[in-house]
Amino acid sequence: MILLSLLPLLILAGIFAFIIWGYRALSFKNPGRKLAKWLIVGYAVILVAGTVYSYSEASTKQVIGKTVSRHEVKKQDKAQIRLFDRAREKGVLQINNDILFKKSEKSFPFKGKQLTVSIPDSYNLFVDRDPGFQGEVVVTHYMSRTFIGNMDVTEKRKEASIALKNSVLDVTFNKTKLHLAAYSEGFVFHQFNGGKRESVWEGDDPVFGDDFILLKVPQGIKVTSEDQLVTNVTVE
């Protein structure tokens, strides 16, 4: 405990010692000239090797998601809101692949007359009744697009767990956790970009896409849910 409380002092002493040492190292009467030469040459080699590695491997292979312009992100965000509003208010769901991403689809044989859907609240449940559809239900997990800055990371999101037992369809959304890194040479390399942002973290707030379930059922089946409002839609 005492050692821990002394830690800031020790760090300060270390920095002070380092400055004194650096000051002495700056003297041209420095006796370790040969060592210094090796240090500089060695460091130069390491710098070149690091740069070659960074260019060949590091940045390109690991980049995730598709980069889009900030304008496109805003356009998508507005389009998503319109799409959900239209579905809820007018009962028309437009499956636009530019806005929506189909994460998974499952079909279950179903002969009953009533289907209860267990789904957490705050998620949309859309039901499409197809007259030419018999003996099965198709459950599709859709998500609208997710952007971190100007990077589309929708495809990194996890699919929902969907299971049908007796006449209860259980839907659980799984949380996706991403640990990311953004690299930038620094502000000085972006200072003269004509006012464009340096990088992704300088972008606007992230856009978190909404998950929803589209349930395709034969006509005449009653769909209920305890926690969520069931919205009947016509799919376009």
Partner 1 sequence: MYLTEVSTWDMVKKLYRYKLNSYFGVFTSLVIIQILSILFSLNGTGSSGGSSDTFEYNMNIYSGTLILAFMMGWAFLVATLITTKAYRYDDSSFVSNRTASHFSNILFLFSASIIAGITVYFSYHLFLSVVSLFMKVRVVQADTLTPIQLAQGITASVLYIFLFTSLGYLTGMLVQVQKFFVFVLPALFIGALIIDGNLSDEPRLLISLGSFYGLETSFIVFVFKTLLTTGALYGVSILVSRRVEVRP
**Which residues between 71 and 110 bind partner 1 (CB under 8 A)?**
none
Residue closer to partner 1, measured from CB, 73 or 148: 148
- Binding status of residue 50 toward partner 1 by CB under 8 A: yes
Q: Pick from 13, 14, 16, 67 the residue near partner 1 by CB under 8 A.
A: 67
Measure the CA–CA gap between 54 and 225, rounded to whole angstroms.
53
Q: How far is the CB of 77 from partner 1 (least distance, A)?
A: 14
Task: Let me know: does 215 contact 129? Beta carbons within 8 Å.
Answer: no
Q: Does 173 interact with partner 1 (rule: CB under 8 A)? A: yes
Task: Tell me how far, at minimum, the Cβ of 3 lies from partner 1, in Å.
Answer: 22
From the list 109, 119, 114, the residue with the least C-alpha distance to 141 is 119
- Map tokens 């705050």 to a residue: 122
Of 10, 180, 224, 232, the residue at the interface with partner 1 (CB under 8 A) is: 180
Which tokens in the block code for residue 136?
């099965």
Confirm if 92 and 79 have CB atoms less than 8 A apart. no
**3-state class (DSSP) for residue 216:** strand
Task: List all residues 6 or more positions away from 202 whose beta carbon is below 8 Å from its beta carbon.
Answer: 149
Distance of alpha carbon 207 from alpha carbon 26, whole angstroms = 51
51 or 134: CB nearest partner 1: 51
Interface with partner 1 by CB under 8 A: which range of 58-66, 73-81, 124-132, 212-220?
Answer: 58-66
Report helix, strand or coil for 94.
coil
Residue type, 24: R
Nearer to partner 1, 209 or 215 (CB): 209
Counting contacts by CB under 8 A, is residue 46 touching partner 1? yes
Using CA atoms in the order 106, 108, 114, 120, what is the torsion angle rounded to 10 degrees?
Answer: -30
Q: How far is the CB of 152 from partner 1 (least distance, A)?
A: 11
Cα–Cα–Cα angle for 141, 103, 166, rounded to 5 degrees? 40
Of 176, 203, 184, 173, the C-alpha closest to 69 is: 203
Question: Per CB under 8 A, which region of 71-79, 111-119, 128-136, 169-177 contacts partner 1?
Answer: 169-177
Nearer to partner 1, 45 or 168 (CB): 45
- Residue range at the interface with partner 1 (CB under 8 A); choices 78-86, 104-112, 132-140, 205-213: 205-213
Task: Give 192's contacts (C-beta < 8 A, 6+ positions apart).
Answer: none
Among 25, 92, 163, 168, binds partner 1 (CB under 8 A): 25
Position 17 contacts partner 1 (CB under 8 A): no
Residue in 13, 43, 98, 111 binding partner 1, rule: CB under 8 A: 43
Q: Does 53 bind partner 1 (CB under 8 A)?
A: yes
30 near partner 1 (CB under 8 A):
yes
